[in-house]
Amino acid sequence: MICGIKEETIRKAFYEGKVNDLLNKIQANERLDPEDIEKLEEHLVELAEEQKSTSDILSRFIPSKDRELPSVIELMGASPEQKEKIKKLEAEAQQDIKTVLELIKQITKQRKEQTHIESQKWYDWGMTLATYQLSIDSYIVWKSQLYYAKIIELMDDTNCSRREAEDRAGLTEEYKNHEVAKLFAKRITTIISLCKSNNQF
Protein backbone atom coordinates (compact mmCIF):
# COMPACT_ATOMS: atom_id res chain seq x y z
CA MET A 1 0.00 0.00 0.00
CA ILE A 2 1.22 3.50 -0.89
CA CYS A 3 -0.70 6.52 0.41
CA GLY A 4 -3.46 4.11 1.42
CA ILE A 5 -3.84 2.94 -2.19
CA LYS A 6 -3.05 -0.52 -3.54
CA GLU A 7 -0.13 -0.70 -5.98
CA GLU A 8 -2.43 -2.40 -8.53
CA THR A 9 -4.70 0.67 -8.47
CA ILE A 10 -1.73 3.03 -8.96
CA ARG A 11 -0.47 0.90 -11.86
CA LYS A 12 -3.90 0.97 -13.53
CA ALA A 13 -4.14 4.76 -13.16
CA PHE A 14 -0.60 5.21 -14.55
CA TYR A 15 -1.14 3.14 -17.69
CA GLU A 16 -4.57 4.67 -18.30
CA GLY A 17 -3.12 8.21 -18.00
CA LYS A 18 -5.22 9.01 -14.92
CA VAL A 19 -2.48 9.77 -12.38
CA ASN A 20 -3.78 13.33 -11.79
CA ASP A 21 -7.25 11.99 -11.02
CA LEU A 22 -5.74 9.48 -8.60
CA LEU A 23 -3.70 12.20 -6.85
CA ASN A 24 -6.80 14.35 -6.47
CA LYS A 25 -8.67 11.40 -5.00
CA ILE A 26 -5.86 10.65 -2.53
CA GLN A 27 -5.53 14.26 -1.39
CA ALA A 28 -9.31 14.64 -1.08
CA ASN A 29 -9.27 11.96 1.61
CA GLU A 30 -6.20 13.10 3.56
CA ARG A 31 -3.22 15.45 3.47
CA LEU A 32 -0.08 13.70 2.25
CA ASP A 33 3.10 13.94 4.29
CA PRO A 34 6.52 14.26 2.58
CA GLU A 35 7.35 10.59 3.20
CA ASP A 36 4.18 9.43 1.44
CA ILE A 37 4.86 11.76 -1.50
CA GLU A 38 8.40 10.40 -1.82
CA LYS A 39 7.18 6.77 -1.85
CA LEU A 40 4.56 7.58 -4.46
CA GLU A 41 7.11 9.42 -6.59
CA GLU A 42 9.53 6.48 -6.43
CA HIS A 43 6.79 4.07 -7.47
CA LEU A 44 5.70 6.26 -10.41
CA VAL A 45 9.32 6.49 -11.56
CA GLU A 46 9.55 2.68 -11.46
CA LEU A 47 6.40 2.43 -13.57
CA ALA A 48 7.76 4.96 -16.07
CA GLU A 49 11.00 2.97 -16.40
CA GLU A 50 8.99 -0.24 -16.83
CA GLN A 51 6.87 1.41 -19.53
CA LYS A 52 9.96 2.59 -21.40
CA SER A 53 11.55 -0.87 -21.15
CA THR A 54 8.39 -2.49 -22.52
CA SER A 55 8.21 0.06 -25.34
CA ASP A 56 11.83 -0.68 -26.26
CA ILE A 57 11.03 -4.39 -26.46
CA LEU A 58 7.86 -3.80 -28.48
CA SER A 59 9.63 -1.55 -30.99
CA ARG A 60 11.49 -4.64 -32.25
CA PHE A 61 8.17 -6.13 -33.35
CA ILE A 62 6.52 -3.08 -34.91
CA PRO A 63 6.26 -3.91 -38.61
CA SER A 64 8.80 -2.15 -40.81
CA LYS A 65 9.88 -2.57 -44.42
CA ASP A 66 13.15 -4.17 -43.29
CA ARG A 67 11.37 -6.89 -41.29
CA GLU A 68 8.36 -7.55 -43.54
CA LEU A 69 8.28 -10.98 -45.13
CA PRO A 70 7.55 -10.68 -48.87
CA SER A 71 4.30 -11.52 -50.60
CA VAL A 72 4.22 -14.73 -52.60
CA ILE A 73 4.31 -12.73 -55.84
CA GLU A 74 7.45 -10.92 -54.67
CA LEU A 75 8.99 -14.21 -53.61
CA MET A 76 8.47 -15.78 -57.03
CA GLY A 77 10.37 -12.95 -58.74
CA ALA A 78 12.96 -12.39 -56.06
CA SER A 79 16.57 -11.66 -56.98
CA PRO A 80 19.43 -13.60 -55.31
CA GLU A 81 19.95 -10.64 -52.93
CA GLN A 82 16.26 -10.56 -52.03
CA LYS A 83 16.22 -14.32 -51.47
CA GLU A 84 19.15 -13.92 -49.07
CA LYS A 85 17.18 -11.27 -47.17
CA ILE A 86 14.14 -13.58 -47.07
CA LYS A 87 16.33 -16.33 -45.62
CA LYS A 88 17.51 -13.96 -42.89
CA LEU A 89 13.95 -12.82 -42.05
CA GLU A 90 12.75 -16.41 -41.84
CA ALA A 91 15.66 -17.28 -39.54
CA GLU A 92 14.69 -14.37 -37.26
CA ALA A 93 11.08 -15.56 -37.21
CA GLN A 94 12.21 -19.10 -36.35
CA GLN A 95 14.32 -17.69 -33.50
CA ASP A 96 11.28 -15.83 -32.15
CA ILE A 97 9.27 -19.08 -32.31
CA LYS A 98 12.05 -20.91 -30.45
CA THR A 99 12.07 -18.22 -27.73
CA VAL A 100 8.30 -18.48 -27.30
CA LEU A 101 8.46 -22.28 -27.10
CA GLU A 102 11.10 -22.04 -24.38
CA LEU A 103 8.89 -19.61 -22.44
CA ILE A 104 5.86 -21.90 -22.81
CA LYS A 105 7.98 -24.77 -21.50
CA GLN A 106 9.02 -22.62 -18.52
CA ILE A 107 5.39 -21.67 -17.77
CA THR A 108 4.28 -25.32 -17.96
CA LYS A 109 7.10 -26.45 -15.68
CA GLN A 110 6.45 -23.78 -13.02
CA ARG A 111 2.71 -24.48 -13.05
CA LYS A 112 3.44 -28.14 -12.32
CA GLU A 113 5.98 -27.41 -9.58
CA GLN A 114 4.30 -24.49 -7.79
CA THR A 115 0.93 -24.36 -6.09
CA HIS A 116 0.97 -20.55 -6.23
CA ILE A 117 2.52 -18.24 -8.82
CA GLU A 118 2.66 -14.51 -8.07
CA SER A 119 0.50 -12.14 -10.09
CA GLN A 120 3.55 -10.20 -11.33
CA LYS A 121 4.98 -13.39 -12.81
CA TRP A 122 1.82 -13.95 -14.83
CA TYR A 123 2.02 -10.33 -15.99
CA ASP A 124 5.63 -10.73 -17.15
CA TRP A 125 4.83 -13.92 -19.04
CA GLY A 126 1.78 -12.42 -20.72
CA MET A 127 3.58 -9.25 -21.81
CA THR A 128 6.51 -11.23 -23.22
CA LEU A 129 4.22 -13.49 -25.24
CA ALA A 130 2.20 -10.51 -26.48
CA THR A 131 5.34 -8.79 -27.80
CA TYR A 132 6.46 -11.86 -29.72
CA GLN A 133 2.95 -12.51 -31.05
CA LEU A 134 3.19 -9.53 -33.42
CA SER A 135 6.25 -10.96 -35.14
CA ILE A 136 4.96 -14.52 -35.23
CA ASP A 137 1.52 -13.56 -36.59
CA SER A 138 3.20 -12.01 -39.63
CA TYR A 139 5.17 -15.21 -40.17
CA ILE A 140 2.04 -17.35 -39.85
CA VAL A 141 0.17 -15.27 -42.45
CA TRP A 142 3.10 -15.71 -44.82
CA LYS A 143 3.05 -19.49 -44.38
CA SER A 144 -0.68 -19.46 -45.13
CA GLN A 145 -0.04 -17.49 -48.32
CA LEU A 146 2.53 -20.07 -49.44
CA TYR A 147 -0.01 -22.85 -48.88
CA TYR A 148 -2.72 -21.13 -50.94
CA ALA A 149 -0.15 -20.33 -53.63
CA LYS A 150 0.61 -24.07 -53.76
CA ILE A 151 -3.08 -24.81 -54.39
CA ILE A 152 -3.14 -22.33 -57.29
CA GLU A 153 0.11 -23.76 -58.65
CA LEU A 154 -1.37 -27.29 -58.67
CA MET A 155 -4.53 -26.06 -60.39
CA ASP A 156 -2.45 -24.38 -63.11
CA ASP A 157 -0.02 -27.29 -63.58
CA THR A 158 -2.54 -30.15 -63.60
CA ASN A 159 -5.69 -28.35 -64.81
CA CYS A 160 -7.61 -29.86 -61.91
CA SER A 161 -10.47 -28.46 -59.84
CA ARG A 162 -9.83 -26.42 -56.69
CA ARG A 163 -11.17 -29.28 -54.54
CA GLU A 164 -8.73 -31.73 -56.09
CA ALA A 165 -5.88 -29.21 -55.80
CA GLU A 166 -6.65 -28.78 -52.10
CA ASP A 167 -6.56 -32.55 -51.60
CA ARG A 168 -3.20 -32.78 -53.37
CA ALA A 169 -1.83 -29.76 -51.50
CA GLY A 170 -2.70 -31.53 -48.24
CA LEU A 171 0.26 -33.83 -48.89
CA THR A 172 2.78 -31.01 -49.32
CA GLU A 173 5.26 -29.28 -47.02
CA GLU A 174 3.34 -26.02 -47.48
CA TYR A 175 0.21 -27.58 -45.99
CA LYS A 176 2.11 -28.99 -43.02
CA ASN A 177 3.74 -25.61 -42.29
CA HIS A 178 0.36 -23.87 -42.67
CA GLU A 179 -1.38 -26.19 -40.17
CA VAL A 180 1.50 -26.18 -37.65
CA ALA A 181 1.56 -22.37 -37.78
CA LYS A 182 -2.20 -22.16 -37.09
CA LEU A 183 -1.95 -24.54 -34.13
CA PHE A 184 1.02 -22.59 -32.75
CA ALA A 185 -0.91 -19.29 -32.98
CA LYS A 186 -3.86 -20.88 -31.15
CA ARG A 187 -1.53 -22.15 -28.43
CA ILE A 188 -0.03 -18.68 -27.86
CA THR A 189 -3.49 -17.09 -27.67
CA THR A 190 -4.62 -19.71 -25.13
CA ILE A 191 -1.61 -19.11 -22.87
CA ILE A 192 -1.96 -15.30 -23.09
CA SER A 193 -5.61 -15.75 -22.00
CA LEU A 194 -4.39 -17.88 -19.09
CA CYS A 195 -1.95 -15.14 -18.07
CA LYS A 196 -4.72 -12.52 -18.29
CA SER A 197 -7.00 -14.59 -16.11
CA ASN A 198 -4.32 -14.67 -13.41
CA ASN A 199 -3.29 -11.00 -13.80
CA GLN A 200 -5.33 -8.26 -15.43
CA PHE A 201 -2.98 -6.52 -17.89
pLDDT digits (tens, 9 = 90+) for 106-161: 888 888 887 677 888 888 888 888 878 777 777 787 788 788 888 888 888 888 89
pLDDT at 201: 46
Cα R_g (the chain), whole angstroms: 24
Please state the pTM of the whole predicted model: 0.51
Highest mean pLDDT among 3-7, 8-12, 173-177: 173-177
CA angle 19, 24, 27 (to 5 degrees): 120
| Residue 168: closest CA among 182, 152, 180, 151 | 151
Q: Pick from 37, 45, 46, 47: which is nearest to 4 by CA?
A: 37
Cα→Cα distances 60→30, 113, 155, Å? 44, 33, 39
Lowest mean pLDDT of 16-20, 150-154, 175-179, 186-190, name the range.
Answer: 16-20
